[in-house]
A = this chain, B = another copy of it.
Amino acid sequence: LFIQTDMKEETGDLAERIRQGDRPALARGITLAERGGDDALQLAGMLQSNSSCSWRIAISGPPGAGKSTFIDALGMILISRGHRVAVLTVDPSSPLTGGSILGDKTRMERLSREEHAFIRPSPSGKQTGGVSSGMRESILLCEAAGYDIILVETVGVGQSETAVHDMTDLFLLLVIAGAGDELQGIKKGILELCDLVLVNKADGDNADRARLAREELQRAMRITTPPNGLKGHTPVLLCSAMTGTGMAEVTDRIMAMMETARLSGSLQATRKEQEIRWLEEMVTDWLFREFLAGTDFQTRKSEVLKQMRSGGTDIFAAFRQLISGKAG
């Protein structure tokens, strides 16, 4: 059931091409990962080996905070320092608009022309497996293809932040100075996830307001961040991705935080715990695929729903009927 021979052959080829850094192959692999299921796991399993020397960085922030410009600028600095950068996007496909609210790769103009960058456009349309569907596998694939910095972009308005926090090493929040209320539009829970907060667009006429926003965020951080002997309060830095002001310092800080985490062993320990939660999700997903997505169950379900809608059965009888194929 789990491994079909001919499929294994083909997945093996794809894995090899990804390992050689073949970009179209990487793109196809990520599509496979997003689709989920056995093939996705098999491919990720083949490519997981050398992922321990990469850094996974989440970049969150409300719409309008300038995430694309920031990633463009950060990515260019990282490449100039010898890194290879992959950008992945978690898109909480809005139920209202029905499509991507993030746009595509053209948002990162400089980075998208770089040989040492790989930008994955946001998936279009609705994903079946939740906002983070295939993201962990996609990260492994990018790492196998030789990218050592994986930037995972997420919009700080949905429920995807916790999921992304659970598959990255460092969580950045990008904000801008607002009209007197800096925390509007940022979900309170996100502050607790953050390792670093950046007030972007700290340039020109906006510089003073950005400084005030920074102070307010630092106050908020002292309230929301639980006292942590070793870690201290989450730092808040100023930058302007557009003019480049502060970007080198931000990059230095990110790299220093990552290096500290790696040297202390906390990076490895966190990843181990993340893997254990991933394993649990894998089993749950598999259970859904095997049972709930089965033809037998689907047929029984549409029959039962028809009866329920017509008032021909109550919910408890419907439930027993639905599970009767398995529970006997």
Q: Which residue of B lies closest to A291 (CB)?
A: B287
Whole-angstrom CA separation of A282 from B157 in the bound complex: 29
> Using Cβ atoms and an 8 Å threshold, which residues of chain B touch A323?
2, 283, 286
> In the bound complex, do residue A275 and residue B315 qualify as a contact, i.e. CB atoms below 8 Å apart?
yes
Within 279-293 of A, Cβ neighbours of B (below 8 Å) are at 279, 282-284, 286-288, 290-292
> In the bound complex, do residue B282 and residue A319 qualify as a contact, i.e. CB atoms below 8 Å apart?
yes
> Using Cβ atoms and an 8 Å threshold, which residues of chain B touch A110?
none
**CB-contact partner of A318 in B226, B279, B292, under 8 A:** B279
Q: How far does the Cβ of A66 sit from chain B's closest Cβ, in whole Å?
A: 21
> In the bound complex, do residue A283 and residue B319 qualify as a contact, i.e. CB atoms below 8 Å apart?
yes
> In the bound complex, do residue A279 and residue B2 qualify as a contact, i.e. CB atoms below 8 Å apart?
no
Q: How far does the Cβ of A250 sit from chain B's closest Cβ, in whole Å?
A: 29
Q: How far does the Cβ of A131 sit from chain B's closest Cβ, in whole Å?
A: 14
> In the bound complex, do residue B48 and residue A315 qualify as a contact, i.e. CB atoms below 8 Å apart?
yes
Asked whether any CB of chain B lies closer than 8 Å to the CB of A81, the reply is no
Whole-angstrom CA separation of A291 from B159 in the bound complex: 27
> Using Cβ atoms and an 8 Å threshold, which residues of chain B touch A322?
279, 283
**CB-contact partner of A305 in B157, B276, B328, under 8 A:** B276
Asked whether any CB of chain B lies closer than 8 Å to the CB of A237, the reply is no
**CB-contact partner of A287 in B226, B272, B287, under 8 A:** B287
> In the bound complex, do residue B316 and residue A272 qualify as a contact, i.e. CB atoms below 8 Å apart?
no
Whole-angstrom CA separation of A320 from B44 in the bound complex: 13
Asked whether any CB of chain B lies closer than 8 Å to the CB of A211, the reply is no
Interface centre among A284, A286, A316 (most CB of B within 10 A): A316
Range of interface residues on A (Cβ < 8 Å): 35 or more
Q: How far does the Cβ of A249 sit from chain B's closest Cβ, in whole Å?
A: 31
> In the bound complex, do residue B292 and residue A287 qualify as a contact, i.e. CB atoms below 8 Å apart?
yes
Whole-angstrom CA separation of A292 from B286 in the bound complex: 11
Whole-angstrom CA separation of A297 from B292 in the bound complex: 19
> In the bound complex, do residue A320 and residue B272 qualify as a contact, i.e. CB atoms below 8 Å apart?
no
Q: Which residue of B lies closest to A324 (CB)?
A: B2
Asked whether any CB of chain B lies closer than 8 Å to the CB of A248, the reply is no
A75-98 near B? 1/0 per residue, CB < 8 Å: 000000000000000000000100
Asked whether any CB of chain B lies closer than 8 Å to the CB of A314, the reply is yes
**CB-contact partner of A326 in B290, B309, B320, under 8 A:** B290
Asked whether any CB of chain B lies closer than 8 Å to the CB of A41, the reply is yes
Within 291-307 of A, Cβ neighbours of B (below 8 Å) are at 291-292, 304-305
Q: How far does the Cβ of A223 sit from chain B's closest Cβ, in whole Å?
A: 13
A sample of 15 cross-chain residue pairs with beta-carbon separation below 8 angstroms, ordered by A number, consists of: A2-B320, A44-B316, A48-B315, A185-B188, A187-B187, A272-B309, A278-B315, A279-B308, A279-B315, A279-B318, A279-B319, A283-B322, A286-B323, A287-B288, A287-B291
Residues of A bordering B, CB below 8 Å = 1-2, 41-42, 44-45, 48, 96, 157, 159, 181, 183-185, 187-188, 226, 272, 275-276, 278-279, 282-284, 286-288, 290-292, 304-305, 308-309, 314-320, 322-323, 326-328
Given A41-B316, A187-B187, A290-B327, 9 more pairs with CB closer than 8 A: A2-B323, A159-B159, A275-B308, A276-B308, A279-B305, A286-B327, A287-B287, A287-B288, A287-B291
